[in-house]
Amino acid sequence: MHISIRASDTDRAPAAASRPRSRPDALARWARRDRPAAAAAAFLVLLVLVALVGPAVTRSTYDREDLDALFQPPSAVHWLGTDQFGRDLLTRVLYGARISLSVGGAAVVGESLVGLAWGTVAGFHGGAVDQALMRIVDLLIGFPTILLAILVTGIFGPSLANIVIALVLTAWPATARTIRSEVVSIRQREYVDGARAAGASVPRILWRHVVPNVAHLLIVRATLDVSFLVLAEATLSFIGIGVQPPRPSWGQMIYESFQYLRSHPALLVIPASALSLTVISFNVVGEALGALLDPRCRRGGA
């Protein structure tokens, strides 16, 4: 039987295929569809840029004191004014952003790697291995996270490296539990059975078939965890066992400005606002990434 195909049909298909969606167009559609997430992402990008280059632009250092310029209002020289020691407030806020983002970024990388490895091994092997590994996770999750961070920094000292280690110890168990739950489901899929039947080793199965399928969860979890880690670092600095003076931290700046709250509220409001906006922005972007990367959401929106 001869099947005729109209020329218009054959011409139409290549024309449709020849117009792929460009990334800028897709990004613009996403920004219009989720404006809060787009605004939060823009704020975070701007924050990273000003944290990197801002202190050089202000032409000041975070520890430069000027006793003749205490509590100065905003001016052309000091855009946000000065603090109780005559230090440029904008410079200290930007250095504080650099420290918070550096500590939060390093900690989220560490806890993501540990949580991914732990949760993948536990979920894939199951049985006694799963039981033993997850009991350790339950024990750590049951311990108050801030108290654990205080314990680590109190014992080993408040250096940046110890702060990062403390934050990794507080965050990785929750990531491991999330990854483990997804791996338990993935290990029962047909492509995993097929890889086993083809003689693939366990490391190869994990690397080629399991880890790529939990990547979206790891990305979303990491984005949400950055907000917690930045806030935890600020909390440690606020109580005096985090970043030590004269190096600025948002939490430390908030603590130092409490006694001037009535006379000079800007000293507290500015770092507190920077911390709040950063935490909220990471949460908003994390939620948006969860909806964007979840395969079920993509299928539902198709």
DSSP class of residue 158? S
pLDDT of residue 298: 52
Question: What CATH number matches the domain at 34-301, 1.10.3720.10, 3.30.200.100, 1.10.260.40, 3.40.50.11540?
Answer: 1.10.3720.10
- The answer to whether the CB of 257 falls within 8 A of the CB of 268 is yes
Task: Summarize the confidence of residues 79-90 as an average pLDDT.
Answer: 91
Residue 299 pLDDT > 60? no
Residue 6 has pLDDT above 70, yes or no: no
In single-letter form, the type of residue at position 221 comes to R
Taken in order 156, 159, 161, 166, the sign of the CA dihedral is positive
Query: What's the mean pLDDT in 197-222?
Result: 88
Q: pLDDT digit string (tens) for 23-70?
A: 567 667 767 787 889 999 999 999 999 988 877 777 788 888 888 889
> For residue 2, what pLDDT is reported?
45
What pTM did the predictor assign?
Answer: 0.83
pLDDT of residue 77: 85
The mean pLDDT value for 274-295 works out to 88
Q: Could you give the dihedral angle defined by the CA atoms of residues 49, 52, 55 and 61, in that order, rounded to the nearest 10 degrees?
A: 160
What would the mean pLDDT of 141-148 be, rounded to a whole number?
Answer: 84
Which residues contact residue 230 at a Cβ distance below 8 angstroms, ignoring those fewer than 6 apart? Answer: 100, 101, 103, 104, 275, 278, 279, 282
Single-letter code of the amino acid located at 269: V
Cα(237)–Cα(241) distance, integer angstroms:
6
Residue 12 has pLDDT above 70, yes or no: no
Looking at residue 23, its pLDDT comes to: 59
Rounded Cα distance between 280 and 267, Å, is 21
Mean of pLDDT values over 147-171: 88
- The per-residue pLDDT for 27 is 65
| Model pLDDT for residues 88-131, shown as the tens digit of each residue | 999 999 999 999 999 999 999 999 999 999 999 999 988 899 99
Query: How many CA within 13 A on the CB side of residue 290?
Result: 12
User: Residue 3 above 50 pLDDT?
Assistant: no
- Tens digit of pLDDT for each residue in 221-247? 999 999 999 999 999 999 888 888 888
Share of the chain above pLDDT 90, in %: 48
Mean pLDDT (whole number) for 140-158: 85
Between 297 and 5, name the one with better pLDDT.
297
**CA proximity to 93, closest of 66, 140, 60:** 60
Calpha distance 253→271 (Å, rounded): 7
Name the pLDDT band for 202 (thresholds 50, 70, 90). confident
Query: Averaged over 208-212, what is the pLDDT?
Result: 88
* pLDDT number for residue 22: 58
Report how far residue 168's alpha carbon sits from residue 125's, in angstroms, rounded to the nearest whole number.
Answer: 24
Torsion of CA 141, 169, 50, 76, to 10 degrees: 90
Evaluate the CA torsion angle 13, 15, 17, 23 in order and state its sign.
Answer: negative
Whether residue 279 is predicted with pLDDT greater than 80 in this model: the reply is yes
CA distance 95 to 268: 16
